[in-house]
């Protein structure tokens, strides 16, 4: 009977092991699920922290504009309380002084007055929320998402000297590289040796390659070689710098038009972008510059630089309303990460939020 007891003992041990394994599985699976949920929570928190950090950065960069625009509107509201003709007239003056522009200001005032009448609003304080909503809607009307068609996706960067063109190119290159895109730069501003050297310095800093020729070379030849190199090296993004001598604007515009034609000829299936770099501090002069480049090359978007150093941030609204162009990027500092994609919602919150 010893052998029977032995078999019973073995079965008993196997049963105990199976129960332990089942128990372990029951415990482990919820723990795994819990770990996944925890990872998602951490990821969500990190994303929220990143967005909040960017909002704070934009708000800080708009501090001068807020003093010139938002704080004055707050003061107007506290002084008046009621909505009358004097209120509208002073609000109009404040917007114009912040470089929103006369045309855009009149459009905003018209829309807000219409809503005040329709909604039966009596208190001036409520106008601030309406203004914020109108600003966001005006900016959002032109927002577009660029979906690259074919490789390389070409970004032709234009703008006058001193607007921040070279640094914006480097910061864009850094952004795309961080997104695991293979980036190539082209130095087609061949009229200044300093421009080529400066772009090389920034390319080295961003860790991307640069196609360049000697000073005085044909910009079209540089672009042709850059496109060939981008194809051969299987680059995802090709960013091209151009000259910005506005004092010789006729030749400059012809040159940029020629470069654009070379891009269209060599990459007929690709939809390239033309981004105009504007210095926010130039205010309404930026509108005049944009019109010139729009006539010569067509513009798909704006890079607005030096927003952190000016009280003329209202120019963003004038660009959206008068030119019907999207602001693609804003520059709010000197570091590589200080060029960010523009968001109408973030801009409105940074400008009018508490």
What global pTM score does this model have? Answer: 0.81
CA distance 260 to 296: 10
Percentages (nearest 5) of helix, strand, coil residues in the chain:
65, 10, 25
Range 93-111 average pLDDT: 93
CA-closest candidate to residue 245, choices 299, 191, 196, 166: 191
Q: 257-290, pLDDT tens digit by residue?
A: 889 999 999 998 887 899 999 998 888 888 888 8
Residue 122 pLDDT class (50, 70, 90 cuts): confident
Residue 69 burial class via C-beta count within 10 angstroms: exposed 0-12, middle 13-18, buried 19 and up: buried
Spatial CB neighbours of 322, under 8 Å, sequence gap ≥ 6: 101, 103, 104, 287
Q: Please state which of the ranges 12-16, 47-51, 98-102 shows the lowest mean pLDDT.
A: 12-16
Residue 114 pLDDT class (50, 70, 90 cuts): very high
Range 21-50 average pLDDT: 53
More confident site: 198 or 37: 198
Report the DSSP pairing between strands 301-305 and 183-187: unpaired
pLDDT of residue 185: 98
pLDDT of residue 27: 40
In three state form, how does the secondary structure of 28-75 look? HHHHHHHHHHHHHHHHHHHHHHHHHHHHHHHHHHCHHHHHHCHHHHHH
**Highest mean pLDDT: which of 12-16, 51-55, 267-271?**
267-271
Phi and psi, residue 264, nearest 5° = -65, -35
CA distance 350 to 234: 40
Range 24-43 average pLDDT: 51
Look at residue 15 and tell me whether its pLDDT is greater than 80. no
Q: 169-202, pLDDT tens digit by residue?
A: 999 999 999 999 999 999 999 888 788 999 999 9
Q: What is the mean pLDDT of the chain?
A: 83
Q: What stretch of H or E contains 210? A: strand 209-211
Phi and psi, residue 301, nearest 5° = -175, 170
pLDDT of residue 22: 47
CA distance 27 to 246: 71
Look at residue 148 and tell me whether its pLDDT is greater than 80. no
pLDDT of residue 51: 57
Look at residue 21 and tell me whether its pLDDT is greater than 90. no
CA-closest candidate to residue 177, choices 106, 130, 237, 249: 237
Phi and psi, residue 104, nearest 5° = -65, -40
Look at residue 89 and tell me whether its pLDDT is greater than 80. yes
Residue 11 pLDDT class (50, 70, 90 cuts): very low
pLDDT of residue 91: 95
Q: Is 339 helix (H, G, I), strand (E, B) or coil?
A: strand
More confident site: 108 or 334: 108
């Amino acid at each position: 009977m010893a052998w029977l007891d032995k078999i019973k003992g073995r079965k008993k041990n196997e049963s105990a092991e199976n129960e332990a394994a089942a128990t372990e599985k029951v415990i482990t699976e919820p723990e795994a699920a819990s770990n996944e949920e925890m990872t998602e929570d951490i990821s969500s928190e990190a994303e929220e922290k990143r967005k909040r950090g960017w909002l704070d950065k934009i708000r800080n960069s708009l501090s001068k504009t807020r003093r010139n625009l938002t704080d004055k509107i707050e003061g107007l509201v506290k002084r008046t309380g009621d909505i009358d003709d004097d209120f509208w007239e002073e609000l109009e003056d404040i917007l114009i002084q912040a470089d929103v522009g006369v045309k855009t200001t009149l459009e905003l005032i018209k829309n807000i007055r219409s809503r005040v009448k329709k909604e039966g609003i009596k208190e001036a304080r409520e106008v601030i929320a309406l203004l914020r909503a109108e600003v966001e809607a005006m900016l959002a009307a032109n927002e577009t998402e660029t979906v690259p068609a074919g490789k390389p996706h070409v970004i032709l960067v234009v703008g006058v000297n001193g607007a921040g063109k070279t640094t914006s190119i480097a910061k864009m290159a850094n952004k795309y590289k961080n997104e695991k895109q293979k980036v190539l730069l082209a130095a087609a501003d061949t009229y200044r040796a300093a421009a080529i050297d400066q772009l090389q310095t920034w390319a080295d800093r961003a860790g991307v390659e640069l196609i360049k020729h000697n000073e005085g070379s044909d910009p079209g030849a540089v672009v042709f070689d850059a496109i060939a190199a981008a194809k051969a090296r299987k680059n995802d993004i090709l960013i091209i710098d151009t000259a910005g001598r506005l004092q010789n604007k006729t030749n400059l515009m012809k040159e940029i038009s020629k470069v654009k034609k070379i891009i269209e000829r060599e990459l007929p299936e690709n939809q390239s972008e033309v981004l105009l770099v504007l210095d926010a501090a130039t205010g309404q002069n930026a509108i005049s510059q944009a019109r010139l480049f729009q006539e010569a090359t067509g513009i798909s978007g704006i890079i607005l630089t030096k927003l952190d150093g000016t009280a003329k941030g209202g120019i963003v609204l004038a660009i959206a309303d008068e030119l019907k162009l999207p602001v693609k990027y804003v520059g709010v500092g000197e570091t590589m990460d200080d060029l960010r994609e523009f968001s109408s919602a973030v801009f409105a919150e940074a400008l009018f939020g508490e």
